[in-house]
Each structure stands twice: as C-alpha cells, then as structure tokens.
Amino acid sequence: MGRFGFFVSVLLCLSFSGTQCLRFDLPSGQTKCIAEEIQHNVMVLGNYHVVAPGSDEHRLGTITTQPVPDDHKLTVRVTSPYGNSVHYAEKVESGQFAFTTTEVGDYLACFWIPPVQPVVKATVEIEWKTGVFAKDWTKIAKRDKIDGMELELRKLEEHVSSIHEEMLYLRQREEEMQNLNISTNSRIAWFSIMSFFVCLSVAAWQLWHLKSFFERKKLL
C-alpha cells in the first residue's frame, strides 16, 4: 500500500468514549492509518468518505452532490491485531465497515491514494464507533417494542456493562504487566549472577594462563 505517512495533519472534530470523528489530508502516494485498541466481542462501525474538492462541507456525515475526481478516490483496508483483513475497498469515494471483534488489540484502518503527478491531496473524514455507540438503537427499539424511558434505561445498562468490562480488562492488563515486571526482574537477576560467575571464570583462566606462560619462560 505504498509508503506510510504518519506525519499527518489530523483535525479531531469530536472525541468521546466509543466514538471518534476525524478529518485529515491524504496526499497521493501515501498511506495514513488510524488505530484503536478494542477488546474481544465488541461491535465496531465505521463510515468514511472523501470530501469533494471545493465543497463547503464542514460536518461529518453531510452529503455533497459534487463529484469526487478519480485521482481522489481511496483504497481502504481495516485489519485486526493479527493482520486479518476485516474490510477492504478499492478506489472508492465513500464506504462503511461493520464487524464484531474476535481478537483483542489494535485494529488498524489504513487509507491510501495511488501516486499521480502532480501530487493531489484529498480530505478524508471517518467516523469510528465502538460498543454501545455502534448499535442502531432505533432498530433495537422497534424490534423489542420499547421506547422512551425504557430505551434510555437499556442504553444506560449497556454503558454500565461496557464500563465494567473495560475495568476488568484494565485490571487484567495491570496483572499481566506486573507478572511481566516480576519475570523481567527475575531474569535480570539470574543474568547478573551468571555474568558475575563468567567474569570470575575468565579472570581465573587468565591468571592460570599467565602463570603457565611465566613458568614456561622460567620467569617465576
């Protein structure tokens, strides 16, 4: 997908737990990626599109009737922490991805425009939602025949559950880091002890070698 260009100018237009809204410039011939660490069995929803050149569009999700030139169209790939592709689209001006995570770690969304001369620069907007924010609550309300206060309570319950799961996940990560620190300290201690004995052995061998050399030369 070409050369990674992480020296990007990204405008954060909205950011809160579970939802990210980004706008950034993407020169042709470069790749720019967005990553988010997500837990197992979490719903993810993403919408992206190219802002048409000369458009007065300022808000994500605003539909423009101006066409997007072919040299501004994107190739998009979303991959899991283990490199599995969960979404791929080639030469598109907009698109959407939706999936439920099966792996824990950083999910990566990369955007690329093929190189052209002269270099063009496209403006890309992406809305990335996870967990509770990725659910279509309108459809859920119609399906379960709930509305008003009951729907808000359902949302609140989902929020509390997601926060609880996040806390458990962070506690697990903390325990893993503590175990890693203990293991690392133990290995360093053993390595230090081994290094000490190796140094003593080398010093003893050098003394023995020098003594043998001087005895052969009848200097002692």
Q: Burial of 151 by CB count in 10 Å (0-12 exposed, 13-18 middle, 19+ buried)?
A: middle
58, 68, 73, 157: which is closest to 113 by C-alpha?
73
157 or 125: whose pLDDT is higher?
A: 125
User: Are residue 144 and residue 81 in the same domain, yes or no?
Assistant: no
CATH number at residue 89: 2.60.120.680
User: Are residue 179 and residue 119 in the same domain, yes or no?
Assistant: no
pLDDT of residue 138: 73
pLDDT of residue 18: 63
Predicted structure pTM score: 0.63
Name the β-bridge partners of 26: 122
Inform me whether the pLDDT recorded for 127 exceeds 80: yes
Range of the domain at 36: 3-135
Q: Judge contact between 125 and 109, C-beta under 8 A.
A: no
Look at residues 135, 157, 177 and tell me which one is the last residue of a structural domain.
Answer: 135
pLDDT of residue 89: 94
pLDDT of residue 8: 35
| DSSP characters over 90-128 | EEESEEEEEEE--S-EEEEEEEE----SS--EEEEEEEE
User: Are residue 196 and residue 180 in the same domain, yes or no?
Assistant: yes
Report, as an integer, the average pLDDT of 143-158.
78
Tens of pLDDT, residue by residue over 39-97, are 888 889 999 999 887 665 444 444 455 677 888 889 999 999 999 999 999 999 999 99
164 or 187: whose pLDDT is higher?
A: 187
Amino acid 64 reads: T
Mean pLDDT of the chain: 81
For residue 120, report the phi and psi dihedrals to the nearest 5 degrees: -110, 160
Percent of the residues in the chain that have a pLDDT greater than 70, as a whole number: 84
pLDDT of residue 190: 92
pLDDT of residue 200: 92
User: Which phi-psi region, left, alpha or beta, contains residue 134 (left: φ > 0; alpha: ψ -120 to 50)?
Assistant: alpha
pLDDT of residue 25: 92
Q: How many domains does the chain divide into?
A: 2
User: Are residue 186 and residue 154 in the same domain, yes or no?
Assistant: yes
CA–CA separation, 142 and 177 (whole Å): 44
pLDDT of residue 78: 95
Inform me whether the pLDDT recorded for 20 exceeds 90: no
Q: Burial of 87 by CB count in 10 Å (0-12 exposed, 13-18 middle, 19+ buried)?
A: middle
Inform me whether the pLDDT recorded for 4 exceeds 60: no
Tens of pLDDT, residue by residue over 114-123, are 988 888 899 9
Look at residues 106, 135, 164 and tell me which one is the last residue of a structural domain.
Answer: 135
User: Are residue 17 and residue 90 in the same domain, yes or no?
Assistant: yes
